[in-house]
Amino acid sequence: MTKRQYHLVELFYIITGSFLTAVGIALFTAPAKIASGGVSGIATILYHTLGFDTGLSILVLSIPLFLLGIAIFGKEYGIRSLAGTLFLSLFTSLLNRFFGYGGLLSYDNVLSVLLSAIFGGVVMGIGIGLVMRSGANTGGTDIVAQILARFTPLSMGSALFMVDALVIGASGFIFSLEMALYATITVFITGAVIDRVVLSFGTSSAKTVFIVSEKLEIIQKEILEQLGHGGTILSGVGMYTGLNRPVIMTVIANRKVSQLTNIVHETDKQAFMVVQEAYKVLGEGFSPIQEAAWAGLSDVTQSKPKKRR
């Protein structure tokens, strides 16, 4: 694949993914008052309280966050993500104009709200997953989470969960507790579908990645700053050359594999990269190792044979 074809595929993913995400917001979650975290959740609250167009709110809220992200992470940060946000805002506003703000279902029926939570989550998950396959994202609170992860002890996942939880909590006060619970369903479904799309039906929640490159320092810096992940530099020796070849070993969430692939591709097209399933990941940013230890101890305790009397 040529560089031009590669960028065309990226653009296709961004445009298609942004459109599907807009469909989920404009036709399902926003009309149903489901504020499922992120900037789109805030935009949903603003529409139902102040009457602001959701697409315009997404744009207005995202631009300052992008500028803040660029100021902290550098000028190259967020160009693809900015494109994703612009397309998402545009498509959301166009769908609102074409279909109106009432969505596709009649919300006189409670079942319609549940259907919107489910199908909105599925459609947004597919859309965001496609955008992430291009190495981009739809911006918004992802940037806030990255900033928190960089300047606080919080992991990227914990920071993102905290930000989304604040939006969902606010929707619970403004709309109702029931709507906050529907939003939680949507967030869960969206996350599950994103993982499926990004990794084409991968089987675990994380991947172990090994990278060999002549530009290891640049890749290492991008992993730390863009992905908010650490890693380990392993010592290696090339079998053919006999030269020392350091190797990056990092474990990342499924949804970030495409972004890491793009980082490596753009930094060093001659790099060697191995991606494999991580059966279980314990420690910072993933499942707490202490809980796993107690769970294992509990399993051992429960499996002890009973003494014969």
Q: What is the pLDDT of residues 72-84, one digit of tens each?
A: 766 666 666 788 8
Window from 76-80, 210-214, 229-233, 249-253 with minimum mean pLDDT: 76-80
The DSSP secondary-structure symbol of 106 reads -
Q: Which amino acid would we find at residue 151? A: F
CATH ID of 206-277, from 3.30.70.120, 3.40.50.720, 3.40.640.10, 3.90.25.10: 3.30.70.120
E strands in 57-176: none
- Residue spans in the chain of domains classed CATH 3.30.70.120: 206-277
pLDDT at 94: 96
pLDDT, average across residues 235-263: 83
Residue % of the chain over a pLDDT of 70:
79
Sheet holding 206-212, edge to edge: 232-234, 247-253, 206-212, 272-277
- Inform me whether the pLDDT recorded for 177 exceeds 70: yes
- Residue 115: helix, strand or coil by DSSP? helix
Sign of CA dihedral 284, 145, 228, 157: positive
- Inform me whether the pLDDT recorded for 289 exceeds 70: no
What are the phi and psi torsion angles at 276 (to 5°)?
-140, 160
